[in-house]
Amino acid sequence: MREISFRDALREAMSDEMRRDNRVFLIGEEVAQYDGAYKVSKGMLDEFGPKRVIDTPISESGFAGLGIGAAMMGLRPIVEFMSWSFSLVAADPILNNAPKMLYMSGGQFGCPIVFRGNDGAGGQLGSTHSWCVESMYANVPGLKIIIPSTPYSAKGLLTQAIQDDDPVFCLESERMLSMTGDVPEESYTIPIGTADIVRTGSDCTIVSFGRPVHFCLEAAEALAREGIDCEVIDGRSIKPLDIDTFAASVRKTNYCVVVDQSWSFASVGSEVAAELHRVCFDDLDNHVHRVHSDDVPAPYASNLEQEMLPNARKICEAVRSVTYNA
């Protein structure tokens, strides 16, 4: 199998679906003539033309609303936010319109649209450009949220998202765009709501999503040298959550740590922990421990930003605490 980058995997997913279905188009800031702010859409304007790869003004609310209207009329837009931090400007259309159309129309029409872009700390972008939006947006019924952690999951999840009849938010990480991995040339899908066990183990379950999955794998290797064998699960989807896969692992290991890059209060990690306490109460030998970003705005300084985020050291400390203090 050939090895390609995360950004190339995203481009392949979009291009494959645009070739398959002429209702699919891409719209956003700098997606066309500039080949994308992060070069994710490089070459797509040349192949598909300016009617299907469309540059917009710096007006997130405007082009998000345009995409939602197009989806309601039967097209299948992909709307790129340069950063999910900027999606806050478009909160009304993406949260108050797109997820509610199917319900409010009595099932007569929905809103098959994908919103995608960079989520979380991108590397010294400051507090206002480093939002992790998953805990806020996952609270809204009627939409789905995917968060790929590898080039393979990026292509498979985004392909499924474009084909989905519901609004899907795809949360990517700028820090992973150059990461490479094995990706099939042919088109394929990964069902939304299915987690992946990326490392098997017997002593403690670690559940995470997106970029922090790699911190979990780093921590698991360090803990293995101490004799603690961790199972690491990549959730891949935030809404819906694959609680069944998480629970099956916890019933085997009896311990669990959830790693979530968003802040701890009312977070995705909180929901995972609550559900595991509900369905695995008799299997857990300790409480589910959570590792989050520190409860501060994202710092600009590189060393402080890394300390604020979940990292391998924090994850190791959490696993030792949960397993040793049972």
Which position has the token pair 């589910």?
288
Is 292 annotated as catalytic?
no
**DSSP sequence for 95-119:** IIIGGGHHHHTTTS-----EEEEE-
Burial class (CB in 10 A: 0-12, 13-18, 19+), 220: buried
Q: Are 261 and 233 in contact (CB under 8 A)?
A: no
Region of residue 30 (phi > 0: left; psi between -120 and 50: alpha; otherwise: beta): left
Q: Which of 12, 17, 29, 60 is catalytic?
A: 60
Which position has the token pair 């509610």?
100
DSSP 185: S
Q: Are 198 and 234 in contact (CB under 8 A)?
A: yes
Is 174 annotated as catalytic?
no
Buried b or exposed e, range 12-43, using 16+ CB within 10 angstroms: bbbbbbbeeeebbbbbbbbbbeebbbbbbbee
Q: Within its chain, how far is the Cα of 164 from the centroid?
A: 16
Bridge partners of residue 170, in order along the sequence: 116, 146
Rounded CA separation 113/6 (Å):
21
Query: Which residues does 45 contact at the CB level (< 8 Å), separation at least 6?
Result: 31, 32, 33, 35, 53
Q: Which of 129, 214, 289, 292 is catalytic?
A: 129
The residues annotated with a catalytic role in the active site are: 60, 129
